[in-house]
Structure 1
């Protein structure tokens, strides 16, 4: 079962307000003294009162050659989470140019944090008076205050999920085999021809790669002959190469189906198709019986199918040896591969001691 995944969101909520402090007759305000200021009218943002302070002669003795601009929180005992931008307005264009920006922080009316900036918003008086911020002895200070409110958190909801379709490359490769489009190699298997694609075969089988692209490849051959395999077995081999699955074998039952899988195992071993080889071993291991175990054991030994060989030895150990020894398969195995019988005896002896 897939793990439950939910989501909630947090969205900042804020209120913004701006105030323009217009100062006429700038030159008439100069000389009021260091640390002296002109305060704008109070303006409200989200229920809190603010004002702009303008120091014509600077905030301190160290800044007496500058003008200074500050924002001040006026509301008594207020603590406000806010940010601000203080700007001078170009008198020729009407555009504001930022003089100071305070990121969101707490303003507390009871201490020095009620001011922004904290370290002075200064511009040289000489530079200011020669700029477009002063025209006809008039100037404008603009302040934008943004008050942060309690964030809005959504209800918890199931996380959106997009279902991804199952991989379909196998289906496309299967259609490629059926359509024969772009096929660049042809096999003749006992008179029946099969068109295929070299790159697909080489990708799936080291043996095919060597035959089709290796130094011993028959570059001039238009047709590759295969005489020691039945056409229906080669067809099944190709089907597995392209689709990684066995073809439909519903028409085959009992011994016919078992015989088909045996031939396919031989083909898998020949072309180094390891996964197909394991698939065939798995099927044959489920079809072992007294009449076929010896034949299957010989096949497993001949093609280095260790898992299938072990399955046969296990079956023999738990069966009546006399019944197995009376089968034609056992007699054939005794003649063709007597060394396997040694394995049988050793296995039985080992298991009997355990």
Structure 2
């Protein structure tokens, strides 16, 4: 008698594996101030950046204003080199990495000059012809005798094989500044009203107190004497701000909520008009990052017509970086002559008495 036929259920277990290269990426900005004073450095000589860390290793950028070599086609080119600065550079050590150099425009975005050297396992990776000096000197990237290079480094730290299931959802980019900006725009649940130059601004005490020690001290001591009501039934405190224009306070509030400056300040005229007032507001409310952002933008506006005023402003508001940029600008004899033509020595002696003696000495020594 035949045995009954049995059906066999075959269960197939499928597993997915992927090879994952664990990487760590970082950036380093190298700003060259006083470019014209570096052009006399001999070919093959470099200026090293301060060390920075990416992927557990220390790195430096070598800047060759006179190129690494005098051979064609590298003659009169600016060269760059990324150097490994720790023990991994020894023969027994291996570092797998990828790097690139970018020349940034005035807005901090990579320009058309971009070099990507691919994967390397050596300790010194160079770009012998990053940009010809004549190209740089006639481009908008060189402004106020300075330019900025960005170095992107990606280090492969480990290669692993992992079992994976369905691909995870990719989280969206951060949107906290957008949400807080919307809260400022709508005024929802606001509990403080500022009166500035005849205009009212609704805001939130908790946000202001978290962002500025001066706001924290001023607002925490106020009694909740109601001059209005929020949607939740709470009290609204009214604060009057003296000696500030409405547009400046509005820009200050925007920074408090979004950590960014108004878009209209990208226009040079708007920036020149508002930046000094924002520096004063940043000092008033002890917001150091805002002050440094504005000071950096003011440095881009230094020219023969503004340098004297900028020096006075820098001294009054303790903007040491702006003062140094003005003095570097005046260090060029050609710039000095133009400044004297535009402003006159008498005006300079009244507005900048601390530097006028240096100016006269430089003018006397200029060819």
Q: Given the two structures, how large is their TM-score scaled by the length of structure 2?
A: 0.47
Larger radius of gyration: 1
Q: Given the two structures, how large is their TM-score scaled by the length of structure 1?
A: 0.49
